[in-house]
Structure 1
């Protein structure tokens, strides 16, 4: 089953990051590793929240904003 991230702006709309293609992963660990490597670039591009999907089923959402 493919794993992927849904990228969202602060208003909840879909976000895209120029130069960073959408990817699918074969495992949850691969998807989470990718996020660990790319979260700063995502945040700098205006992505405020990501949602991990397995196929099209939501696994969990995560904010990229600083807590506080």
Structure 2
């Protein structure tokens, strides 16, 4: 049995992926969401406009806006 993997994909304001930005991989959704909650301001300052939660590489929830510029 494999452990579930949760990670974030990051997008710029125009919806394109933000290159070079990698999320840690988490074993549960709570930890993934907590990590984003703790660091979203810093991510927004680097140009990340939204984050999409992935479960096993598939979209698990709608994008979370990190910036009002989206």
TM-score range, shorter chain: 0.7 to 0.9
- Alignment RMSD (CA, Å): 1.7
5+ long unaligned stretches in structure 1: none
Find the residue that maps to 2:60 and give its secondary structure.
Answer: strand
Aligned residues: 64
Larger proportion of strand: 1
Deviation per residue, 1:32-52 (Å, 9 max, x gap): 010011100110000001100
Give the alignment's TM-score, normalised by structure 1.
0.83
5+ long unaligned stretches in structure 2: none
Mapped to 2, the partners of 1:27 and 1:59 lie a distance apart of: 12
